[in-house]
Amino acid sequence: MRRLFIAAKIEAGPDLIRTVSTFKAVLGGENIKWTDLSNSHLTLAFLGDTEEERIRPLSIMLKEKCNGSGNFSFLLKGAGVFKSLRDPRVIWIGIDLPDKLLKLNQSISAGLKESGFVVDDRPFRPHLTIGRIKYLRSTDNLKNLIEKYRDAEIQKVEVNEIILYESILLPGGPVYNPLITSGL
């Protein structure tokens, strides 16, 4: 079994690095597990534990659904948290959702369903996770940062391929190993 997900790679530019560094500096005394920016990606589908024999058909489906859809870009914009500001669990940078990204996500989801994968039916909420909160003594600094970056345009991201990754969980953090790359 391999733990798999489908994603677009996000290369962290100076503005994204500066934004995340600001969050880290302001929240430095809190118990937060920060995401390694070299692992930055936009998840299109999380597959979880997947049998080895399903990888080849998955790669064929991915190429069929992605090829010809065309390169596109999106904007990393805004910041927020998952769960709530009263009980935050994940700090994220938002993604301005272009039509091409939404259509690609829908096409991949349909292909996964046709291939017998269980697909999450929740609405697609694209985001870049920058930190996972273990415990906060106070949410005041976090609230101030979220307000400061609520509508900030942070970085433009160019997408010209979609990648099937294997996620290998290690004590020092996950390692994302690209298995298959599909051009757009």
Q: How many other β-carbons are positioned within 10 Å of the β-carbon of residue 101?
A: 22
- Mean pLDDT of all residues in the chain? 95
Percent of the chain with pLDDT over 90: 93
- Res 25 pLDDT > 90: yes
- Measured N-to-C along each axis, helices 55-66 and 99-114 cross at an angle, to the nearest 10 degrees, of 150
Mean pLDDT confidence for 55-70: 95
pLDDT tens, position by position, 84-143: 999 999 999 999 989 999 999 999 999 999 999 988 888 899 999 999 999 999 999 999
Mean pLDDT confidence for 46-68: 95
Mean pLDDT confidence for 39-47: 96
Active-site hit among 127, 155, 159, 180: 127
Report pLDDT for 135: 92
CATH topology of domain 2-183: Cyclic Phosphodiesterase; Chain: A, (3.90.1140)
pLDDT tens, position by position, 152-170: 999 999 999 999 999 999 9
78 within 8 A of 94, measured Cβ to Cβ: yes
Q: How many other β-carbons are positioned within 10 Å of the β-carbon of residue 87?
A: 11
Shortest CA distance to 131 belongs to which of 39, 10, 62? 39
Report pLDDT for 172: 84
Shortest CA distance to 37 belongs to which of 19, 17, 22? 17
For the question of residue 41 being annotated catalytic, the response is: yes
Residue 121 CB-half CA count within 13 A: 0
Active-site hit among 41, 45, 94, 105: 41
- Res 173 pLDDT > 90: no
For the question of residue 127 being annotated catalytic, the response is: yes
Taking the alpha carbons at both ends of the chain, their separation in whole angstroms is: 28
Report pLDDT for 18: 98
- Give the phi and the psi of residue 68 in degrees, each rounded to 5: 90, -5
